[in-house]
Amino acid sequence: MKWHILTGEYPPAAGGVGDYTALLANALSEAGDSVDVWVGTPTPSTASGSCRVHPLPDLFGPRSRSLLDRAWSAAPGIVLLQYVPNAIGRRGMNVAFCRWLLAQRRHGQDVRVMFHEPYFYFTARRPWRNAAAVIQRVMALLLVRAAVQRYYSSANWHAYLGPYGAANTGIVLPIPSTIPSNAPAVRAGELRARFSPSGSGVVGHFGTFGDHVGDELREILPALLRQDSDVRVVLIGRNSDRFRQELAQRLPGAAARVHATGEMAASDVAAALSACDVLLQPYPDGVTTRRTSVMAGLRNGVATITTEGALTEAVWRQTGAVALAPCGHTDGVVSQVLRLLADPGERMSQAARGRDAYVRDFSIEQTVARLRSMAPAALSA
């Protein structure tokens, strides 16, 4: 199969959608497909096997359209847009590009759209964003009509996009981990010894420690450290050093029991995750299949506790991949952590359920299989 993937982000530029797109492009190439990635951010032109990366600063603007027309005519295939409204130019209000993609569909092009996000929410806190929220709904309508097939990063998007003509027609493609698995046991053991020289239980959190998840951790971690005087906490990822300093100021007596790794290479993140007994991954709106931080723990076989909220999909309860506690329920989250720390057998069972669910439902291999299951279409106007 031939793929033309359009994305507003791609490594080395930082961004979760860029990392996902690189993972997907390489996986499709390894499956035997030919892949051209058209990138809307500055990035080097590269070619590896049957995967080629083409940076176009005006990718979502009018100057690139004739170039894309020629490229797609010379090498016909599937056009797959990685859609995040704010990543396709014009401050997230690029109606012209969406209309052009609809015209491509009407001229016979096999257009598909991966909706990472559908549109801005309406809000009273930032009324200036409500105009963009309206325009992005127009964009969603155009893209729903443009797409031969729609893909969703979360099953929630069925309800969000249904009113625009996409009811029950999207295929869910969970966002897999961009962190590898099978970290060397020696490296994981070295980190474990550093985190917990005495052999006490180790609770980790992996993320970027932004405001929303940070607020959850500011409530949960002090409660955990107070209830278990032996537990060690490991903060993994970018901004973890800053967050540890903040936590140490609030809990000076517990500072020695909290470690921070700072930003690490992906292979070292895998080792740090494997050095933990359990992972604590709370989210203010609940865990979803878009959360790559929770996917990293599942892929590496670490028992994971997270929160269930308004956006949490049914798959989490159906699979038992994680131990769940209600959003905003600090005592419930801490209770789940302490339960798994105290019961090695249940901890191993929870880790196995998470790893099995990841392989079966969330992995990049499943994404590739679902994408390749639909043959290219030749559509008439």
Residue ranges per structural domain of the chain = 2-176+364-372, 185-362
Compute the distance between CA of residue 324 and CA of residue 211 in angstroms, rounded to an integer.
22
Task: Specify the CATH architecture of the domain 2-176+364-372.
Answer: 3-Layer(aba) Sandwich (3.40)
Checking if the pLDDT of 378 tops 70, the result is no
* Cα-based distances in Å from 295 to 38, 46, 264: 27, 28, 17
**Sheet of 170-172, strand order:** 46-48, 51-55, 34-39, 2-7, 78-83, 110-115, 149-152, 170-172
- Reported as a single tens digit per residue, the pLDDT across 138-156 is 999 999 999 999 999 999 9
Checking if the pLDDT of 158 tops 80, the result is yes
- Full-model pTM: 0.93
Please provide the CATH number assigned to the domain covering 185-362. 3.40.50.2000
Using pLDDT thresholds of 50, 70 and 90, give the confidence band for residue 166: confident
Please give the structure tokens belonging to residue 283: 């989210």
- Reported as a single tens digit per residue, the pLDDT across 347-357 is 999 999 999 99
Which carries the bigger pLDDT value, residue 167 or residue 258? Answer: 258
185-362 matches 2-176+364-372 in CATH topology: yes
Range of weakest confidence among 15-24, 125-134, 282-291, 321-330? 125-134
377: DSSP letter: -
H or E element at residue 113: strand 110-115
Using pLDDT thresholds of 50, 70 and 90, give the confidence band for residue 344: very high
- Reported as a single tens digit per residue, the pLDDT across 53-105 is 999 989 999 999 999 999 999 999 999 999 999 999 888 999 999 999 999 99
The pLDDT, as a whole number, for residue 379 is 42
- Reported as a single tens digit per residue, the pLDDT across 176-216 is 999 999 899 999 999 999 999 999 999 999 999 999 999 99
